[in-house]
Amino acid sequence: MAAFRPFSSLLVGGNTRQLLAKRGAAHFNFQPSDAPKEYGDVRQKMNLCQAVNNAMDIAMDTDPSAVLFGEDVAFGGVFRCSIGLKDKYGADRVFNTPLCEQGIAGFGIGLAVAGSTAIAEIQFGDYIFPAYDQLVNEAAKYRYRSGGLFECGKLTVRATWGAVGHGALYHSQCPEANFTHTPGVKVVIPRGPTQAKGLLLSCIRDDNPTIFFEPKILYRLAAEEVPVGDFMIPLSKAETVRKGKDVTIVSWGTQVHVCLEAAQLAQEKLGVSAEVIDLQTIQPWDEDHVVESVKRTGRLIVSHEAPKTSGFGAEIAATIQDRCFLHLESPVNRSCGWDTPFPHVYEPFYLPTVWRVFDSIKKTVKY
């Protein structure tokens, strides 16, 4: 009656890779970046998952108070970001918690209040909401409400983020705007392995609680030469990833690559020169960088996967019309997810695709 036992077909070749875009190609092409010289000459090819692992490795090595915890973190995490770290730093520094996000966040705050560096993992950004109270009402307000007597700046919450091709409602969301409306926490999202490493190290060492969202579709898909040493990319600094003069496109995370592709298409098909800015830190964001660009181009498109209404794009649009009103040649355009939950089979129709961003460029320039 071995018929009912699953081993024969089950326990072969299982692989977390399966979670990532397997069916059909991803909706973008990853564009690797070349890290500036000052981040170090010695480089090694890493994907985003390895870059996160490498950053945490350095953080734990350089700070004996640092601990790393969350659901399934001990064996390496369901996305394998913490692989090998328990063996290297011990089970008291890298450990599983019970399955409880509010517990993870509250516990992390307490560690930080007592002077430890806390790196908390929330398995999916979609499951950060049980921790919302702890993050919004506690972490974000600790310093302010105690007159600076107590604070939890040593807390970093890492959570996976964004579309993967078939994640549907609860394995796809981009909840950054839920947190940018909360003064007191920083929100950071990398576009590739180099940024993941440099920004995560900055978050871990920053004296404010930070939420670091990791675009999970990039974990394996995005690989590039990453400096192997200890380097930090400053928070609240945007990066121009493509120079242009006709229109500015602002984005973050996976969507930067969609925008880069659309910008290239616009160059080829329309002869339009689009500048692409990776915001990197969503809050507090680098207004001056975007303002400088828009004053040159006179046009702005903001693009994010999250729903358009009350997305962070709205904030950028409002600020830019305020600071650049007389420079604008066309209304600020937002190319975003629709105002619906994230649908399973209709994902290709939901996302702000290369073609939707391309069309936004066309319309903005021809306005």
Ligand X SMILES: Cc1ncc(C[n+]2csc(CCOP(=O)(O)OP(=O)(O)O)c2C)c(N)n1
Which residues are annotated as catalytic?
101, 171
Buried b (16+ CB within 10 A) or exposed e, 310-322: ebbbbbbbeebee
**How many angstroms separate the CA atoms of 259 and 28, rounded?**
9
Q: Which does 75 bind (CB under 5 to 8 A by kind): ligand X, other proteins, none?
A: other proteins
H helices of 223-335, in order, are 255-270, 287-297, 312-324
Q: Which of residues 44-63 bind ligand X (CB under 6 A)?
A: none
What residues form DSSP beta bridges with 211? 157, 187
Q: Which of 24, 36, 99, 144 binds ligand X (CB under 6 A)?
A: 99
Q: Which does 365 bind (CB under 5 to 8 A by kind): other proteins, ligand X, none?
A: none
The verdict on 79 binding ligand X (CB under 6 A) reads no
The verdict on 13 binding other proteins (CB under 8 A) reads yes
Residue 296 makes CB contacts below 8 A (sequence gap 6+) with 245, 248, 275
Q: Least distance (Å) from other proteins to the CB of residue 37?
A: 38
Q: Which of 93, 171, 257, 304 binds other proteins (CB under 8 A)?
A: 171
The verdict on 169 binding ligand X (CB under 6 A) reads no
Orientation angle between helical segments 287-297 and 312-324, nearest 10 degrees: 60
Q: Least distance (Å) from ligand X to the CB of residue 23?
A: 21
What are the tokens at 143? Answer: 């310093």
The verdict on 355 binding other proteins (CB under 8 A) reads yes
Of residues 20, 80, 95, the one with CA closest to residue 49: 80
| Number of residues lying near other proteins (CB under 8 A) | 61
Q: What are phi and psi of 275, to 5 degrees?
A: -95, 135
CA distances, 366 to each of 214, 242, 324 (Å): 35, 21, 19
Q: Which does 149 bind (CB under 5 to 8 A by kind): ligand X, other proteins, none?
A: none
Q: Which of residues 60-99 bind other proteins (CB under 8 A)?
A: 71-72, 74-76, 78, 95-96, 98-99
Q: How many CB atoms lie within 10 A of CB 15?
A: 8
Starting at the edge strand that comes first in sequence, how are the strands of the sheet with 239-242 ordered? 239-242, 274-278, 247-251, 300-307, 333-337
**How many angstroms separate the CA atoms of 155 and 66, rounded?**
10
What binding mask, one character per residue, do residues 110-149 give for other proteins by CB under 8 A, x or -?
Answer: ----------------xx-xx-------------------
| Number of residues lying near ligand X (CB under 6 A) | 6
Q: Which of 40, 43, 102, 230 binds other proteins (CB under 8 A)?
A: 102
Q: Least distance (Å) from ligand X to the CB of residue 6?
A: 14
The verdict on 71 binding ligand X (CB under 6 A) reads yes
Helix, strand, or coil here: 52? helix
Of residues 284, 194, 202, the one with CA closest to residue 241: 194
The interface region with ligand X, picked from 14-22, 37-45, 122-130, 355-363 by CB under 6 A, is: 122-130
The verdict on 82 binding ligand X (CB under 6 A) reads no
The verdict on 114 binding ligand X (CB under 6 A) reads no
Q: By CB under 8 A, name the binding residues for other proteins.
A: 1, 3-7, 9-11, 13-16, 18-19, 22-24, 71-72, 74-76, 78, 95-96, 98-103, 126-127, 129-130, 165-171, 308-309, 338-341, 343-346, 348-350, 353-356, 359
Q: By CB under 6 A, name the binding residues for ligand X.
A: 71, 99, 101, 123, 127, 130
